[in-house]
């Protein structure tokens, strides 16, 4: 399974994105910060993009990045960092 960071900048009313947030939840995403999610999946980044981009507007932005096992990362006082640490050891 692969871990991805999904970052998004949504410009509309939060209520308008209910299906987007539900999809993230259904995918098992974990949010360390506002507008950032981590997910562990067998899907490719392009598949994730297609699945999520259908739920946002053309003025919104989304970025999906694969987090490799060799990723060097650090977090401070963020929720769900234990989830990431269990999947991608800190460098």
Region 58-66 average pLDDT: 94
The percentage of the chain sitting over the pLDDT mark of 70, rounded to a whole number, equals 98
What's the pLDDT at 73?
83
What's the pLDDT at 91?
64
Domain 2-87 has CATH 3.30.70.240: yes
What's the pLDDT at 70?
83
Kindly tell me if the per-residue pLDDT of 35 is higher than 90: yes
Decide: pTM greater than 0.95.
no
Residue 66, Ramachandran bin (φ over 0: left; ψ between -120 and 50: alpha; else beta)? beta
> Over the Cα atoms of the chain, what is R_g?
13
Q: For residue 55, what are its two tokens?
A: 């739920």
Domain extents in the chain:
2-87
């Amino acid at each position: 399974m692969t871990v991805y960071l999904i970052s998004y900048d949504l410009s509309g009313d939060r209520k308008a994105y209910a299906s987007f947030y539900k999809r993230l939840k259904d995918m098992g995403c974990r949010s360390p910060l506002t507008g950032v999610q981590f997910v562990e999946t067998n899907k490719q980044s392009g598949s994730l993009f297609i699945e999520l981009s259908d739920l946002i507007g053309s003025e919104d932005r989304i970025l999906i990045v694969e987090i490799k096992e060799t990723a060097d990362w650090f977090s401070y006082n963020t929720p769900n960092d234990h989830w990431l640490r269990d999947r991608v050891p800190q460098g």
